[in-house]
Structure 1
Amino acid sequence: MSELFEAVEALIASASPLPPPEERKRLRQAHGLTLDQVAGALKVRRATVSGWENGKTEPRPPEREAYAHLLKKLAELYPAQSAHSADSATAAATPAGETSATVPAPSGAAPAEERTPSPGQAPGAAAVTAATLPSHPTLAAESRPAAATKRSTTRPEAKRASSKEPAPQKAAAPRRPTATAPTSTEFDPRFENGPLAVVDADRDGQVLAYCVGGLVLDVPAKSLPSLVEWTLTEARLGAPRLNGSGKDADPLLVLTASACERYGLPDRLTQDERLAGRIPDSHKAVKQLQRADWQLTKRGFGPWARIYRPAEDGRRQCVQLCIPSWDALDTRHWEGAAQLPPAELARLLGTYAQRVMTPRGSTAVTGLELMTALHPPTRASEPDAAGRRHSEHNPGSLGSHPVDCAPCEAPDGHPLLADLPRFHQRGPAEILLEEAYDWARPLTDDECLKRYVVGIDVNLAFGAAANGAVVGLACEPVHVKHPTFDPKLPGSWLVDLSHVDLSRVLVGKERKHLDGDLLPSPFTPRGDRPEGPAWYATPTVAYAVELGYDVAPLEAYVRTTSGRYLDSWYKRLRDAYVATMADLGVPEGLTPEEFLTAMDGYKQRDAEMAVVLSAIKATVKGGIGKLRERPRGGGWRPGRPWPALSRPTWRPDIRAAVISRARVNMHRKMLALAAATGRYPVAILSDCAVYAADGPGPLDVLPYQGGKTVPGSFRLGVLPGMVKHEGTQTTLWAEEVREKHGQDLNLARYIKDGHVTATDGGE
């Protein structure tokens, strides 16, 4: 009988009534809850709750009953009311002389909650077109420093926004942006106004600081040193640390061109300054800072300048500057963000800062800094006999000091290779060459009869490869001769894999017979079969064993202290990516057909979120690449060290392991698809694979039955490691461009738009 009652309870829970999606969001925001808090209470992911609120998905038992109970209780506390009554209630609750924070929509525009989807917009996309920033409860005006009390949350028009002081707004019920709140830590009153501000000056000399959430601060500072002083003492900018042993993020000031002029800086760099990456130390602005006892880092005053004083009583005194007009925001990753009005730029950068971290430079630099922020090199020790704590090594980090790489891991020009002849070219037995795929082959006769070539692209491929990667930590490599291969031991192995025959491999636990000539080798970036011993990272050698072949390393450089250093880095960037995709109308949990529909034109739904997405992807790829930064600028000579070598995060072995895993993951999925369907790729470029198909879409390449595809192969979806549609061209196009530009042309490089920009020499 108890089983019957349990079944009835489950049936009731499966149909627990829920309010409409927009009401779910209203109730959560009315109680001041973040998506992370709700997700944590229900033990689901943040993006899942986001999907419930924008109507893309519906909760299922057992979460549905708990979610319905939460909303019911919130509805009792915050019953729905008209906008008029809400205005009246807020006005009545606002003491005389105080102004409640509001975020009104731009004049002439409908409220964001009532926007109608534009033609071609996916269902539910209207709810995610606004900027995505939380608005925290503000403190009373009299509790703030005088210089920071005068603020407005008026959203300027989409044009020059600082010619006049924003007009006072009528007191109204606080409104939050309609899009989902970015991932952030709990509210910290020290950083009440967010991680950053965009500083702009109008023609009359008035300076305003546009913060996240629509807040605008008056800036009383008349000089650059006083601007830095004001930022640290009154602006309440910054972000709390991401790890208890780490450091709080320094405030970031983004100076517009007019603000640069106001504070004695050039609005543009000269050609010489651009090449040097800084203004000269003799510049009056630099001298002004020096007279006020402010210092610059060794990089000087460039597009991403850091201005600081030595810490006092454990308190950092540092402000980061970002100057878009000096090309601080690379258009390859930030697109046209530098041209946005101040308020919009603050929203865009603020979203990135709260989901990833406050930018510390380029996206690559930020990706690397995020690793350190999540795994600080030191921590506080246990109290000693006198009750004092000391700094000690933080297990799981890369430590405070750089470690030497193995000779095979060193790039050309490294000091370890100083004794090599000047023009010596190292072969596979001398250098670890773990790079992404760049492979193509001619189409077979059967493939030429198909109408299309279809490209599929792996989402955040290097991020997915970083997840779960076991890498060496703060230890030197140990050189061993004729070791027994251990797949759990990170390092570099000299081994001959030329005997691995792709025509007979293990797929899962079964031996499969495939057409090995139609597949790239998993061991080389160009897909060529190895011809003898070569250096490989651990994941590559482990894959050879997985395919069913024995390996006998000749020597190795291994690291005995290891861990999954990049897991938390991946998870933070994964959550940022998934949340931003949800804001663009592509949540988790969609069927393949729904996913492809949602992806159609997704970047046009919110241009600012599309830029944030681009920056997140660049942070992943650039952060991994920065682990093996090469020398830059003049004055360096081969055999001499360069600045990056002094960083604990200069770790070419970690980069090699991640790229190796990404390439192996790609090959494993292609192998599973070939074994199950007989379909082989015709071109691969990094995380994009091209297949010949009878139809124009990914579903014509990937077989789905009952919502499931080939186990271990490609899956359509938004999560990292899953795939999306990259582009489709005709088979006729493929043959024409190869006839014109050469048979070595990689179709994956041009599958997106079909435009071949230059002859492809494979470089």
Structure 2
Amino acid sequence: MPSEEELFEAVDALLEGDPQLPLPAERARLREAAGVTQARLAQALKSTTQTVKNWENGRSEPRPPRLQAYLRLLEGWAAKYPPEPRAFTTAPQEPAVPSVPAPAAAPASAAAPVGQSRAKPAASSRRPAAKEPAVKEPAPATAVDARFENGPLAVIDVEDGQVLAYCVGGLVQTVPAKSLPALVDWTLMEAKLGQPKLSGPGKDADPLLVLTEAALERYGLPVALTEEERLAGRLPEGHKVLNQLARAEWKLTKRGFGPWARIYRPARGAERACVQLCIPSWHALDSRHWGEAAQLPPTELARLLGVYASRVMTPRGSTAVTGLELMTALHPPTRASEPDTEGRRHSEHNPGSLGKDPVDCAPCEAPDGHPLLADLPRFHVRGPAEKLFEEAYDWARPLTDAECMHRHLVGIDVNMAFAAGANGLIVGLGAPTHVKNPVFDAKLPGSWLVDLSHVDLSRVKVAKDKWAQLDGDLLPSPFTPKGEHPQGPAWYATPTVAYAVELGYEVRPIEAYVRYDNGRYLDGWYTRLRDAYLATMADLGVHADMAPADFLAAMDGYRQRDPQLALVASAIKATVKGGLGKLRERPRGEGWRPGQPWRALARPTWRPDIRAAVISRTRINLHRKIVKHAAFTGQYPVAVLSDCVVYATDGTTPLDFLPYRDGKPLPGGFKLGVNPGLVKWEGTQTVLWGEGVREQFHAPELNLARYIKDGTVTDVDNGE
């Protein structure tokens, strides 16, 4: 039995507790009151300026022996510089630090109150006090899964010799792992990281660890890849860290240990053991889509990626890879069957999915070099009657004399155009069926060989039993990406042929590759990305259903309101385009030769027909609006690039030429707004600028839509 003295000593120790520092804001106030800079304080405590900054903004806490020295200094300053008393005219305010902890089921993505921490088995954690961000992380719509209560990911950093895991919502966990295999073990056993599945038959998202440069050094990995490693996209076999993983019986996927590495052990039943790594200094976060995210401090990077993960999904690689993975996550290829007579379940095809096995495309849908085309002569160039060529617009024309009299060129851009093109689109789910002389069916997805050269854009149907007379020479053809009039039979996706019928013309296909097994595969994908984009833009002050003028005002400078969330919006848009692009991924650095298969062909999500259908519908949606606008206003575009359209006008904003009446837009025409399919202001330049650029580069049909945003011409393209 312990003695009475020992018990009292133990109780006294509990009463005394650990040294308690003042709140981060108070630390900064005391230092500033004393007239001491962060650099000078860092020098006195034998630390770094960045570490002192972290202490004062709540990103980290000092540890012994600096803890005791720092506390003594703050206590001395507190005696000299007490806070000014606050006068209360009513009841006193609530204390800044809550006296009770948050419930265990609090959302992992929601920031905990200042000073609160949560106990962790075999590891400590804390939520540092921090200035509340301008925009809070989104709270999950459902109760938090206790398995993943700390969120989908963590940024691993090293500070003052201690490894820390920065999670969403401000949580910081202390990481005891001394090696990379131990870090993987800790992640799976203690960190409580991950994300619940997005659909019933799906799989939970694996935890994601983002390794900073300091973490790479701590775990024996290079801060940057050599040129040879960068080209290979991975560390070489035999690297010491790879040997450590192998000895611990961890495996890598076929892509190896690169910027996005997956470390796993084979699944046992439904149990998965897999951790994904993201390495920003190896260019895992493409600056075209993620901006300067790779240079953000750990807390801010965790916030940025956490918002993206909660609204889209935990990143699985580039935005393109994640866009494709989101399709599969929402429509897993298999599901568990109903119990058989013995009560057992087995795996079966999940209706509405693409299945688990790849299917061949039609020959006309195959890109050049595909194995289906191996018998073609080596230098044979396929024309429109042999190759489906559904691409986005790249069209421009010279200005008319009347247009040259206007003052400005104004560009409008369709929001999330390709996402809108995917919404409600019926696409093939299985293999194509070849049909000769078919009757066209607008509800049947596929590729059709048909002659549309008879469609006359000078006379088109714009509504039921209502025809419009237009100047067809001032319009791009809806049937070709370059806007050229078709000269004979060509392959088109279903939405393109359906539009010819909509314009009032008969079509007689010669042959087709159709898909009788079909469905609205991309609806859930569109909805999730749309909601993610709208929620993020709303956080940035741009809301749906704004009046046109209010919308333009809200869009002005929205990126500066919260640069991190602006990067999230950019990444969401890149997820749309990149995911669709992955549906027809080409060979890359695989020692590939024409006629040979490449790695992407083994995926059930390698579906060039789906990509073609989305692009076709997106281009047709834009042309329909152009026609409606021309029929009502007599205005024609001078340039179209993908989802950007440029008009000549005297005004400087879209409100100067878009036909609004009492705040309502032209039915079926362009409408200003943030929703996918609506338009925003892309940029304005003078007509003299446009004519001058074309003259300077001797390119009378230079696509001015490419440069309308800021007027800078960096890569002249004359359309060749």
Residues 1:269 and 2:192 are matched in the alignment: no
Residues 1:393 and 2:349 are matched in the alignment: yes
2:70 aligned residue: none
Check conservation: 1:577, 1:613, Cα contact below 8 A: yes
- Is the alpha carbon distance of 1:540 and 1:293 closer, same or farther for their aligned partners in structure 2, counting shifts above 3 Å? same
Residues 1:219 and 2:228 are matched in the alignment: no
Paired amino acid for 1:150: S
2:30 aligned residue: none
Q: Deviations over 1:176-201 (max 9, x none)?
A: 97536255543111001000000001
Map 1:129-278 onto structure 2 (within 5 A).
Answer: 133-135=109-111, 144-147=120-123, 149-155=124-130, 178-179=135-136, 181=138, 185-202=142-159, 204-278=160-234
2:94 aligned residue: 85
Residues 1:487 and 2:442 are matched in the alignment: yes
- TM superposition shift of 1:154: 3.4
Check conservation: 2:395, 2:703, Cα contact below 8 A: yes
Q: Deviations over 1:644-698 (max 9, x none)?
A: 0000000000000000000000000000000000010000000000000110000
Whole-Å separation in 2 of the counterparts to 1:487 and 1:137: 56
Aligned-partner SS, 1:737: helix
Among 721, 739, 747, the residue aligned to 2:704: 747
Q: Which runs of 4+ in 1 moved over 6 A?
A: 140-143
- Is the alpha carbon distance of 1:183 and 1:707 closer, same or farther for their aligned partners in structure 2, counting shifts above 3 Å? farther
Whole-Å separation in 1 of the counterparts to 2:648 and 2:569: 29
Whole-Å separation in 2 of the counterparts to 1:568 and 1:482: 34
Among 216, 240, 249, the residue aligned to 1:284: 240
Among 728, 741, 747, the residue aligned to 2:684: 728
- TM superposition shift of 1:626: 0.6
Paired amino acid for 2:539: D
1:609 aligned residue: 565
2:574 aligned residue: 618
Paired amino acid for 1:410: A
Paired amino acid for 1:335: G
- TM superposition shift of 1:703: 1.1
Aligned-partner SS, 1:146: coil
- Is the alpha carbon distance of 1:133 and 1:747 closer, same or farther for their aligned partners in structure 2, counting shifts above 3 Å? farther
Among 328, 335, 354, the residue aligned to 2:310: 354
- Is the alpha carbon distance of 1:486 and 1:83 closer, same or farther for their aligned partners in structure 2, counting shifts above 3 Å? farther
Whole-Å separation in 1 of the counterparts to 2:267 and 2:557: 49
Whole-Å separation in 1 of the counterparts to 2:143 and 2:127: 24
Whole-Å separation in 2 of the counterparts to 1:141 and 1:339: 27
Check conservation: 1:439, 1:525, Cα contact below 8 A: yes
1:13 aligned residue: none
Q: Say what the alpha-carbon RMSD is for the aligned residues.
A: 2.0
Whole-Å separation in 1 of the counterparts to 2:118 and 2:418: 49
Gaps of 5+ in 2: 1-89
| Equivalent residues, number | 626
Map 1:470-481 onto structure 2 (within 5 A).
Answer: 470-473=426-429, 475-481=430-436
- Is the alpha carbon distance of 1:142 and 1:513 closer, same or farther for their aligned partners in structure 2, counting shifts above 3 Å? closer
Aligned-partner SS, 1:217: strand
1:429 aligned residue: 385
Check conservation: 1:199, 1:253, Cα contact below 8 A: yes
Check conservation: 1:135, 1:176, Cα contact below 8 A: no
In the superposition, the TM-score normalised over structure 2's length comes to 0.85
- Is the alpha carbon distance of 1:142 and 1:685 closer, same or farther for their aligned partners in structure 2, counting shifts above 3 Å? closer
- TM superposition shift of 1:311: 1.2
1:524 aligned residue: 480
Whole-Å separation in 2 of the counterparts to 1:355 and 1:563: 25
Whole-Å separation in 2 of the counterparts to 1:759 and 1:570: 34
Whole-Å separation in 2 of the counterparts to 1:367 and 1:507: 35
Aligned-partner SS, 2:260: coil
Whole-Å separation in 2 of the counterparts to 1:610 and 1:313: 41
- Is the alpha carbon distance of 1:614 and 1:141 closer, same or farther for their aligned partners in structure 2, counting shifts above 3 Å? closer
Check conservation: 2:137, 2:307, Cα contact below 8 A: no
Q: Deviations over 1:540-579 (max 9, x none)?
A: 0000000000000000000001000000000000000001
- TM superposition shift of 1:220: 0.3
Whole-Å separation in 2 of the counterparts to 1:590 and 1:707: 10
1:111 aligned residue: none
- TM superposition shift of 1:136: 7.4
Q: Deviations over 1:322-372 (max 9, x none)?
A: 000000000000010000001100000000000000000000000000000
Paired amino acid for 2:582: K
Check conservation: 2:117, 2:127, Cα contact below 8 A: no
1:757 aligned residue: 714
Paired amino acid for 1:505: V
Q: Deviations over 1:282-317 (max 9, x none)?
A: 110101100000000011000000000011242100
Check conservation: 1:471, 1:563, Cα contact below 8 A: yes
Check conservation: 2:112, 2:170, Cα contact below 8 A: no
Residues 1:364 and 2:339 are matched in the alignment: no
1:73 aligned residue: none
Whole-Å separation in 2 of the counterparts to 1:252 and 1:743: 51
Whole-Å separation in 1 of the counterparts to 2:113 and 2:326: 28
- TM superposition shift of 1:137: 10
- Is the alpha carbon distance of 1:233 and 1:133 closer, same or farther for their aligned partners in structure 2, counting shifts above 3 Å? closer
Whole-Å separation in 1 of the counterparts to 2:308 and 2:273: 23
- TM superposition shift of 1:700: 1.2
- TM superposition shift of 1:281: 1.4
Aligned-partner SS, 1:456: strand
Residues 1:699 and 2:671 are matched in the alignment: no
Residues 1:417 and 2:373 are matched in the alignment: yes
- TM superposition shift of 1:503: 0.3
- TM superposition shift of 1:760: 1.1
2:11 aligned residue: none
Aligned-partner SS, 2:456: coil
Whole-Å separation in 2 of the counterparts to 1:186 and 1:195: 14
- TM superposition shift of 1:761: 3.1
Gaps of 5+ in 1: 1-80, 104-131, 157-174
1:469 aligned residue: 425
Map 1:438-457 onto structure 2 (within 5 A).
Answer: 438-457=394-413
- Is the alpha carbon distance of 1:526 and 1:337 closer, same or farther for their aligned partners in structure 2, counting shifts above 3 Å? same
Larger radius of gyration: 2
Whole-Å separation in 2 of the counterparts to 1:262 and 1:87: 37
Among 663, 670, 692, the residue aligned to 2:626: 670
Whole-Å separation in 2 of the counterparts to 1:389 and 1:134: 38
Among 718, 737, 741, the residue aligned to 2:674: 718
- Is the alpha carbon distance of 1:155 and 1:270 closer, same or farther for their aligned partners in structure 2, counting shifts above 3 Å? farther
Whole-Å separation in 2 of the counterparts to 1:520 and 1:142: 62
Identical counterparts, % of pairs: 71
Paired amino acid for 1:152: R
Whole-Å separation in 1 of the counterparts to 2:714 and 2:141: 41
Aligned-partner SS, 1:287: helix
- Is the alpha carbon distance of 1:425 and 1:664 closer, same or farther for their aligned partners in structure 2, counting shifts above 3 Å? same
Paired amino acid for 2:705: A
1:163 aligned residue: none
Check conservation: 1:250, 1:318, Cα contact below 8 A: yes
Q: Deviations over 1:443-473 (max 9, x none)?
A: 0011000000000000000000000110001
- TM superposition shift of 1:205: 2.3
Check conservation: 1:184, 1:354, Cα contact below 8 A: no
1:304 aligned residue: 260
Whole-Å separation in 2 of the counterparts to 1:511 and 1:178: 49
- TM superposition shift of 1:82: 7.3
Check conservation: 1:182, 1:351, Cα contact below 8 A: no
Whole-Å separation in 1 of the counterparts to 2:554 and 2:119: 47
Whole-Å separation in 2 of the counterparts to 1:142 and 1:760: 58
Q: Deviations over 1:614-668 (max 9, x none)?
A: 1000000100111000000041000000000000000000000000000000000
